[in-house]
Amino acid sequence: MSSSSIEIEPIQLTAERAEVMSQRRIKKHHVAIVLVHWFNATTWLLELATGSGLVVSPQYRFMPVWYLQMMEGIFGSRANMLRFHIAAGLTWVTVFLVYAIFGFRNYLKMEVLQREIGLDRDDFRWLKTRTLHLFGRSREPLPPQGVYNAGQKLFALLVYAAIPLIMLTGLIMAFHWFGTTVVAWAMLIHLLAVGLVVSGLMIHIYMGAVFPEEKPAFYSMITGMVDELYAYRHHFKWWRDVKLQEQAWMAKLGEQHATPPPHPDAAPAQVDQAVTHQPKPAE
Amino acid sequence: MDSKITRRGFLKTTSLAAAVTGATAGSSAELRPPAWRGDTRVQQIATNCEMCFWRCGVMAEVADGKVVKLQGNPDHPLTKGQLCARGNAGTQLLYDPDRLKYPMIRAGERGSGRFKRVSWDQALDLFASRLTELKKKYGPESVAFFPHGVGAGFFGTLMRAFGTPNSAEPAFAQCRGPRDVGYQLTFGRPVNSPEPVDLEEAKAIVLIGSHIGENVFTSQVTNFITGLQRGAKLIVVDPRFSTAASKADYWLPIKPGTDIALLLAWMNVLIAESLYDKQYIEQYATGMKELEAHVQGFTPEWAEPITEISASRIRETAHVMADVMPAVAVHPGRHVTWYGDDTQRARAMAILTGLLGAYGRKGGMFLPTKLKQGRIPLPPFPDSERGRVDGGGTTYPLATEESQGLTQGLVQATLSAKPYPIKGWIIYGQNVLESIPQRQNTLQAIEQLEFLAVVDVLPVEQTQYADLVLPEATYLERYDPPAFVTTAKRPYVAIRQPAIEPMYESKPGWWIAKQMASRLGLAGYFPWRDPDDHLARLLAPLSVNMTELKSLGAVSFEGHPYIEDRTEQDGPLFPTQSGKIELSSSVLQDLHFDPLPRFTAPDSPPPGFMRLIYGRAPMHSFARTENNSWLNELMAENQVWIHTSSAAKYDVRNGYKVVLENQDGVRSAPLIARVTEEIRSDCVYMVHGFGSRSKALSKAYKKGASDAELITRVAVDPIMGATGMRVNFVRVLAADRS
Amino acid sequence: MPRYAMVIDQERCVGCQSCTVACKSEWDVPNGSARTKVRQTGTVGQFPQLSKAFYVSQCNQCDHPTCVPACPTGATYQDANGLVRIHRDLCIGCGACVAACPYGARYINSSLGKADKCDFCASRVEKGLQPACVATCPAHAKIFGDLEDRSSDVFRMVYRESARRMETTTIAIGPNVYYRGKPEHAELVLVSFAPVPPRTIAPAAIWSSVLNKFIYLAVGATFLGQAVAFFHQLSTGEKQFDE
């Protein structure tokens, strides 16, 4: 099959094709990403719980008094809670630093970021259309999305901006860097950044854990895989890229072998045969 | 012997031994129960302070070989646990990074400040060889000694043994000398220190110039405030609105230099209105008739134009005193070398005290009680045929004792080489360039020396000129002779013992002097083995429990402060020639001085000039503490106080820097002008001790301005040689505001 | 429970700074800061009718401290004896409390990076000692004691001898350092060193005036949004994920 047979836009799928696609898996998240995601989530939970338990003065606090007392009881003292908060925070910073240093090429290079979380015209249209859908004001289909949809991209942008700020301001407060005035502003920025991320988290957690359409996304953060049908329906442009890569890989293999390997669209011998979007030589 | 001898058991034996022989094996630190500072165990060592010379009781807290805190010693009989700002800041002297650390020998031009570090052996050998050389070439008298402080005694013995009679402390001719001589002439006793003024019991307190509260001696402040709180009326005579003046019932802003006129007028009132203590005078004094005749013309009206204090005010204050006599404390002052007639002014104050019946009475001045002091038998000191060069005892007839040396006399003799050359100076703890007026002379004299040795704790300016610099340990690291204080209501002995080992290579004075002596073949004059031995010998007649003394820091004895308490052992009430209070001084008469004080007008400032007066600040001691990190923070530089109208006249703005130029054209360093109402318009005031020219004193260097530099003219008291220093006039010039 | 207070006798004080240095030494106060300060008031009058006094100040352990609510982490708190204390382990050194003190009694300790101030030498008092400044004062101008103890000097001075608080009509937060002496001397203090309105540092002001509301709004709105979506989802049944 030639490349021209991979559609440019999503089309109505035949039942057979849909069935086949629903059985096949594409790797969406590298195991490193999965680990970092859950590490991040756990740390955030702990840091939110302890951080919000630390802000006690009437002028600043945002948690009810019973919560503050409960947290103080759990940790024995608020000083202990602060130590825990700083310790967990430092662990968080360290892990991310390691991730950033070792994973820079694969995950944080500008072209990677551009591809994965950069907003294009389809994204802006998606945002508009999705919002209208929410209010029942449009029946237009959503424009095709990349590996992450526009909503996810927005959240990612927020998080990518907020996390370094939260880390830096956290360090400033923990070690009294740059003097009193900077520490005071750091606290404000820390709270602000955390607050914004938390509001984003509301949507992120709902979408990920509760909203049925995105269930595969949730599982992909555990297994690293999504099924192809989901990818076709929700992240078409990424699906297309994967397909093109497969094709190119197949073409290369075709040059090297006498018998062409089976067509990717043919029914697979085994249900769980996996095809990655990073070409690997077959057995 | 039980091999498991415990530390406690060991101490028990040694402390018993201490009580018997007066010697302890271990440090006295263990004898006081340990205390706690937070989680750290600290030893408490009782000693006394030397941030100034009141020697308040100090408790040093030591942990891990570091002094972590100083507090007042509650067991000290005089200061009872109070400690002033300087005393509290003693740790910053101990840990001052600018301290002298190693013996040094000059390695460049004199004054270049280039030195070579040497060992103690090398340093002491050099000292001995240079002194021997000078002795051979010019005789031992060619070496002059400039001491100051408690530890000077060791070096004094050394110098006398060496054979020089030439020794002078600024305490005499630049500070207390005139009043000690004046009071001795009147009552038979010098005033001494701490001054036996019964401030706490007084019903009226009279301060002539004394700025108690800015000059801070802990127990003196305590007693002063106690007296005031008990209702004593306060009369302050001062051209400046001092802290004491701010508490006064009567502030008399007297024209500088006219105090004698005021005192004579007060005497006039007391006598003319028959208000003085007749019975007391009859019983205890002579010369009343002469006094009566003498003061007849010195009415308040006479004094008014002279002093610029109204006659009614003079009368009123005389009445205030008379109303409550004899409980009137006329403070004799401390630094009294002002105008050249200072002995006579002291005489006037003594006479006034006598007229009020206050000497030896409650609320006036109390009497010292003797303390038996052990003598350490020494070989006889060599006699000097050539005699003193400073003029004491000869030119200045009443500066007779060895302790009554005239520093400026030594300087003059060095410059003129008359009556014989002075070629070597040994300085111990004296800051000659700051304390002796006319520093240009002192500098010149130093240039002419063949040998200058300085023993000190801090690298003050004169260190730059020395041939040999020896670092002494601070008072917190050394033993010094104990204080035998007789001028307290309960006389006491207070010890100074080290809290920690000397830092760097500094050594205690006693060790240095002893080492010098042995190298000069004079070891026989230091027959005691070590500090404990020295202390034991001095305290022998008092049968003091050494353990108790070392643990408490001081031991007091019964005192007989008032006339009615006196016993046979206290000796005569008034040890004068006549055995009575000499209102008119026969001694002075015989020496052809005025037997009764006379007023002579001081020179007036030339037009455009104002008189320069100086004093103290409570967070500094003279020029000793300006480099102390904590005290420097409280006051890093001095300012010149100038009255609002004078400031307007000379276009001086508050807070801006000015330069003072004196009558001889000498200019001060720039310093900030403090424009205020708190001073007469004919004088300006600055705190003494600033403007250090020693680069090695990193925090004090070039901060503020030196008043001493502006004191190029002195008025010498003909009776005992004191240099009156309030006879310089300055005009105020704007400084560059950069 | 004791209620500690201090009385400063302005007629006794000579402005010698012994207290400042004793305190600095006791508590390792870095240079540039002071737990207790002695300052001379301005001089009133014209030569020679003059009046001046000294103002000894430190943390007043106020009845209604303005610094306690200003502290975001609650590091500064009022203990059972009425003393305002600082829990060092909870302090981040943001300086909000320093700005909030009308008397300027607090400082950021430059070596610790945390807020610091006088606490009436609480650890000394626990051992039965006087505060360091009180113990050292040569003029006995500082008197410390328990206002609940009717036999104490402070009780007498405050309740029977009209020792007064340095308060103004606008700033009256119940300081527990009282002043006795001539009324004119107390007035001199209020002229030169009256307490000033507590300041809120800029970040705290922005937070409490605008941003906290904004964050509540953002979190609340997104939470509500998701709640609505969830209920919507429940009511319409789970959309088949795969058509």
Residue B655 belongs to what domain range? 610-734
Buried/exposed code over A197-214 (b: 16+ C-beta within 10 A; e: otherwise): bbbbbbbbebbbeebebb
DSSP B174: I
Let me know whether C182 and C220 are in one domain: no
Write the CATH number for B717.
Answer: 2.40.40.20
Q: How many helices (H) and strands (E) does chain C have?
A: 9, 12
pTM (two decimals) = 0.90
Let me know whether B308 and B219 are in one domain: yes
Q: Do C16 and B89 touch (CB under 8 A)?
A: no
8 Å CB contact between A20 and A270:
no
Distance CA B269, CA B289 (A): 15
In a domain? residue B94: no
Write the CATH number for C25.
Answer: 3.30.70.20
Is chain B in touch with chain A: ≥3 Cβ pairs within 8 A?
A: no
Distance CA B50, CA B508 (A): 14
Task: Name the fold adopted by A30-228.
Answer: Fumarate Reductase Cytochrome B subunit (1.20.950)
Let me know whether B237 and B335 are in one domain: yes
Write the CATH number for B231.
Answer: 3.40.228.10
Let me know whether B312 and B414 are in one domain: no
> What is the predicted pLDDT for the residue at C239?
52
> What is the predicted pLDDT for the residue at C242?
43
In a domain? residue B686: yes
8 Å CB contact between B181 and B202:
no
In a domain? residue B120: yes
Task: Choose among B412, B411, B414, B432: nearest CA to B423.
Answer: B414
Let me know whether C100 and C188 are in one domain: yes
CA dihedral C16, C20, C22, C27 (to 10 degrees): 180
Q: How many CB atoms within 10 Å of residue A123? A: 21
Is chain C in touch with chain B: ≥3 Cβ pairs within 8 A?
A: yes
Give the residue from chain C lying closest to A230, CA to CA: C242
In a domain? residue B515: yes
Q: Which chains touch C (3 or more CB pairs under 8 A)?
A: A, B
Q: In Å, how far is C214's CA from the nearest CA of chain A?
A: 9
Residue C228 belongs to what domain range? 201-243
Integer Rg of chain C from CA: 25
- In this prediction the ipTM stands at 0.93
Let me know whether B197 and B343 are in one domain: yes
Q: Do A184 and C202 touch (CB under 8 A)?
A: yes
Buried/exposed code over A145-169 (b: 16+ C-beta within 10 A; e: otherwise): bbbbbbbbbbbbebbeebbebbbbb
pLDDT tens digit at each of 243 positions of chain C: 899 999 999 999 999 999 999 999 999 999 999 999 999 998 999 889 999 999 999 999 999 999 999 999 999 999 988 899 999 999 999 999 999 999 999 999 999 999 999 999 999 999 899 999 999 999 999 999 999 999 999 999 999 998 999 999 999 999 999 999 999 999 999 999 999 999 999 998 888 888 778 888 888 888 888 888 788 777 776 554 443
Q: B380: pLDDT confidence band, cut at 50, 70 and 90?
A: very high
Let me know whether C207 and C182 are in one domain: no
Distance CA B474, CA B454 (A): 15
Q: Which chains touch A (3 or more CB pairs under 8 A)?
A: C
Distance CA B568, CA B560 (A): 11
Query: Which range has the worst mean pLDDT, B31-45, B552-566, B581-595, B704-718?
Result: B31-45
8 Å CB contact between B430 and B459:
no
Let me know whether C221 and C118 are in one domain: no
Let me know whether C48 and C126 are in one domain: yes
Q: How many CB pairs below 8 A link B and C? A: 122
Let me know whether B253 and B120 are in one domain: no
Give the residue from chain C lying closest to A51, CA to CA: C73
Mutation target for B interface from C8, C10, C13, C16: give the one with most B CBs within 10 A: C16
Instruction: Specify the amino acid at residue C180.
Output: R
In a domain? residue B441: yes
In a domain? residue B345: yes
Q: Do C95 and A181 touch (CB under 8 A)?
A: yes
Give chain C positions within 8 Å (CB) of A174. 92
Angle between helices A150-175 and A121-134 (to 10 degrees): 100
Let me know whether B301 and B200 are in one domain: yes
In a domain? residue B402: yes
Retrieve residue C26's tokens.
């006791």
Number of domains in chain C: 2
Let me know whether C30 and C88 are in one domain: yes
Is chain A in touch with chain C: ≥3 Cβ pairs within 8 A?
A: yes
Give chain C positions within 8 Å (CB) of B212. 14
CB nearest B85 (choices: C12, C17, C50):
C17
Residue owning tokens 């040689």: B721
Indicate the pairing of strand B639-643 with strand B671-676.
parallel
> What is the predicted pLDDT for the residue at B12?
42
Domains of chain A by residue range: 1-28+229-283, 30-228
> Given a cut of 60, is residue B374 above it in pLDDT?
yes
Distance CA A33, CA A217 (A): 13
Q: A257: pLDDT confidence band, cut at 50, 70 and 90?
A: low
How would DSSP label each residue in A132-181? HHHTT---PPPPP--SS-HHHHHHHHHHHHHHHHHHHHHHHHHHTTT-HH
Number of domains in chain B: 3
Choice between A62 and B326, residue whose per-residue pLDDT is larger: B326
Task: Choose among C120, C115, C20: nearest CA to C62.
Answer: C120
> What is the predicted pLDDT for the residue at B31?
58
Q: Which residues pair with C109 in a beta bridge?
A: C114
Retrieve residue B212's tokens.
């108690």
Let me know whether B577 and B523 are in one domain: no
Q: Which residues pair with B469 in a beta bridge?
A: B104, B454
Let me know whether C241 and C180 are in one domain: no
Let me know whether C108 and C174 are in one domain: yes
Task: Choose among C167, C204, C162: nearest CA to C182.
Answer: C162
Distance CA B123, CA B104 (A): 7
> Given a cut of 80, is residue B8 above it in pLDDT?
no
Residues 6 or more apart whose CB falls under 8 angstroms from that of C168 comprise C190, C194, C195
Residue owning tokens 């500070």: B175
Choice between B721 and A127, residue whose per-residue pLDDT is larger: B721
Let me know whether B330 and B406 are in one domain: no
Give chain A positions within 8 Å (CB) of C229. 206, 211
Q: Exposed, middle or buried, B271 (CB in 10 Å: 0-12/13-18/19+)? A: buried
Retrieve residue B421's tokens.
């050359």
In a domain? residue B73: no
Q: A264: pLDDT confidence band, cut at 50, 70 and 90?
A: low
